[in-house]
Amino acid sequence: MQEGAKTKASKSSVPMHPLLAGSLKAWQVETLYSRPDDYVFASYKLGGKKPRMGSMVVEDHLRPAAVKAGVIRKTEDGRTFDSNGNEIERFGFHSFRHSLTSFLIRNGENPKLVQTLLRWSKMDMTMYYAHSMQDEKLEAQGKVLERIRPPSVQ
């Protein structure tokens, strides 16, 4: 097993969709460090010898893209909120695991497929990472209320 890998599943490979491969190829044409063995997001400051720090990529690219896409909202005082108005303390690459899991589960993907795609050894991690949205919570409450309320109540 790979050093530092938690389980056999976490060592396994992840398939790459052709759309993602195409985006990475397009990026390779644009970047100064475009040799096959160069880092995808190389540090310009370090002459491409090392990758950019993840926190820098988040601050310079990921967070602004998430704000522009309406995924998160940042206030003038620097606080960050999700699309439901809940304040969030952290937003970074790990957020993708939660978002991807939630999106796939919400759109009817097989939980076992999601577990395998995200390389978890146990199914409970899939459900831990899947978050429900505010409208889904309200819809679920409404279904229960429609079943239990008296017919005369509108």
Contacts of 91 (CB under 8 A, 6+ apart): 58, 62, 63, 66, 72, 80
Confidence of residue 1 (pLDDT cuts 50, 70, 90): very low
Domain of 106?
93-129
pLDDT for residue 77: 93
Q: Is residue 148 a part of any domain in this protein?
A: no
Q: What percent of the chain has pLDDT over 70?
A: 95
Question: Which of 5-9, 23-27, 46-50 is least confident?
Answer: 5-9
Q: For the full predicted model, state whether its pTM sits above 0.75.
A: no
Say if residues 40 and 30 touch (Cβ distance below 8 Å): no
Number of domains the chain contains: 3
Same structural domain, 124 and 106? yes
